[in-house]
Amino acid sequence: MSLEVEKNPCQVSVSGPELVQSGETVHLQCSVSAACEDRPEWAWSESAQLPSSSYSQDGKTAKLSFPALWSHDGVTFTCSPSRSKDACVSRSIKLTVRYSPITTADSYDPSIKEGHAVTFTCHSKGNPQPTFRWFKVGRGETTQEREWTLNSVTAEDAGRYFCQAANDLGVKNSTVVTLDVIYAPKGVSVWTGKALDSVREGERISFTCKVQSSNPPASYSWYKDWSQLGCTDRELNLTDIKLQDTGNYYCRATNPVGYKDSPHVQITVLYGPRDTRIVASEGGVKVGRNLTLTCHAEALPEPNRYTWFHALPLTGGWTEVPAPSNRPSDRRALSWEQIRVSDAGEYMCQAGNEISAKNFHLAPRRCAVWAHRPHPAHGCHGEGVQPRHHPMHGGEQPPVLAQPNLGPCRQAPPWPPPGPKSLPVETPRPVSAYQSQLLLQRVCQRRGPVHLPGRQRRGPG
């Protein structure tokens, strides 16, 4: 058996360039032999668009012309008789188009928390294959990779980026991508325009919470001694400062990423004397023996001046005690080397410092006081007399009166004595301060010793 192969009398031939540059005009021509019953036709993939093509047929020839685009790279153009299904009579041309890069760029997560990783990818087409470089706007080249990863972004990495693709036909920059780095507030501090170690009662202080940077913007809260205050503004205003405003303050800046506390600032409130009281020296007091009264007061700074006043029983006035009667003493302590009966009466001390010296308003305590001397016939040994309260005027609490511890008296005088009256008090005002009183009462020097109770009692101060 023999097999004979005959050549198809219908022959197709094509002509045209296989390598062009983008923008050049491509001319393709297809011809068929006389044996072909149908005229030739050009065909190409639907994805290849020929917006400005020209097509002509004259029965045995078909011509196709069009400007080469980068999208035509790799497209196959095929010519065959119009109704032929015989692939053997078709001819093709695969077009290669050289073109400069065409780029786009993206980042997988343009908004990222500080410390996380982000990857930038440069998508580019070009023939020949382009090379890549990444740039940050305003800073210059960063890397020469098509895909660029920042493993741990910082706030300084935030900004606008683009990639550049280049080949021997040209250079193309991508669209700009913006990297938004979000992070908790940084550089939080408290600012105030005055020294905080010398704030006086009644003054005003304004604190400002400063944040160096925060993305997104921060909200504010204020704390005193680790307890949150009600203020949520950037500024905290303390008006009419009180002693209880002393403490440590700080602000907290918060955003959805986290929060940051400022360093603590401490307010030290200076205040005038208060809780003034008189304390007698330890032990009892005998007529002729010594006694020291010490003026105590709470103040900041410490009191730097003290003034003593003495009111004799039922005399109706105060007399400043310039110095102890027979012994030198500082102004805080009032001392006697020998207690006498004439020393009986009410004593008041005033304490002052640089704060109270500027405030001369003083509302002194007023009280009725007596100093009883026992009848000469009264003995002074045996029964003791305990400290007592005596009437107060002006709605204040009565002071504790320190009385001598007497021996038994055959006929004790009545207590309180009949007809107590309020003494007209001349308010001493050498300095402004708080004050307390101590009454030396019923001092006698007959027979036994005279004692002041060892347990000291506070005045009302």
**Confidence at residue 282, expressed as pLDDT on a 0 to 100 scale:** 56
Tokens of 291: 């006694």
DSSP state of 314: T
- Beta carbons within 8 Å of 414's beta carbon, 6+ residues apart: none
What is the pLDDT tens value at each position of the chain, 461 positions in all? 667 666 778 899 999 999 999 999 999 999 999 888 888 999 998 777 886 678 777 778 999 999 999 999 999 999 999 887 777 888 999 999 999 999 888 866 678 999 999 999 999 999 999 999 999 998 888 888 899 999 999 999 999 999 999 999 999 999 999 999 999 999 999 999 888 888 999 999 999 999 999 999 999 999 999 999 999 999 999 999 999 999 999 999 999 999 999 999 999 999 999 888 888 875 456 677 788 888 889 999 998 888 888 887 666 678 888 755 555 555 788 887 888 877 777 888 888 888 875 433 233 332 222 333 334 433 333 333 333 333 333 333 333 333 333 333 233 333 233 333 333 333 333 322 333 445 454 443 333 333 333 333 333 33
**Confidence at residue 2, expressed as pLDDT on a 0 to 100 scale:** 67
Contact 400, 458 (CB under 8 A): yes
Show the domains of the chain with their CATH numbers. 12-94 (2.60.40.10), 100-175 (2.60.40.10), 184-267 (2.60.40.10), 272-461 (2.60.40.10)
**Confidence at residue 375, expressed as pLDDT on a 0 to 100 scale:** 41
**Confidence at residue 113, expressed as pLDDT on a 0 to 100 scale:** 95
**Confidence at residue 197, expressed as pLDDT on a 0 to 100 scale:** 83
C-alpha distances in angstroms, 275 versus 83, 295, 336, 356? 119, 10, 25, 14
Start-to-end C-alpha separation, the chain: 141
* Cis before 424? omega within 30: no
User: For the whole model, what pTM was predicted?
Assistant: 0.60
CA–CA dist 388, 412 (Å, integer): 15
CA–CA dist 331, 329 (Å, integer): 6
**Confidence at residue 438, expressed as pLDDT on a 0 to 100 scale:** 52
**Confidence at residue 27, expressed as pLDDT on a 0 to 100 scale:** 94
**Confidence at residue 331, expressed as pLDDT on a 0 to 100 scale:** 77
